[in-house]
Amino acid sequence: MIDRSALAAPRLLLGVIVVVAALVRLYGLDFGLPHTQARPDETHIIEAARLMLSGRLPRFYDYPWLYIVLLSALYLGYYAWGAMAGWFDSVAAMVASWPEYWTPFFLISRAFSALCGTVTVLVVYRLARRLWGETAGLVAALFMALAFIHVRDSHFGTTDVALTLFIVGSVAGLVEAHQSQRQRAFAVAGLVGGLGAAIKYNAVILAAPIAASYVLHVSLSHDRGRALRDPRLLSYGVPFALGFAIGIPGFIAYARE
- 42, 45, 86, 37: which is closest to 63 by C-alpha? 45
- State the Cα angle at 69 between 95 and 173, rounded to 5°: 150
**CB within 8 A of 194, min separation 6: which ones?**
203, 239, 240, 241, 242, 243, 244, 245, 246
Rounded CA separation 235/54 (Å)? 38
Position 4 scores a pLDDT of: 64
Predicted local confidence at residue 257, as pLDDT: 53
**8 A C-beta contact, residue 110 and residue 156:** yes
In 3D space, the residue among 202, 187, 177 whose CA is nearest the CA of residue 240 turns out to be 187
Structure confidence at residue 246 (pLDDT): 86
| Distance of alpha carbon 95 from alpha carbon 99, whole angstroms | 9
Q: ∠ CA(239), CA(244), CA(245), 5° rounding?
A: 95
Tens of each residue's pLDDT in the chain, 257 residues: 555 666 788 899 999 999 999 999 999 999 888 888 878 899 999 999 999 999 887 777 788 999 999 999 999 999 999 999 999 999 999 999 998 888 999 999 999 999 999 999 999 999 999 999 999 999 999 999 999 999 999 999 999 999 999 999 999 999 999 999 999 999 999 999 999 999 999 999 999 999 999 999 999 988 888 989 999 999 999 999 999 998 876 555 555 55
Give the pLDDT score at 58: 78
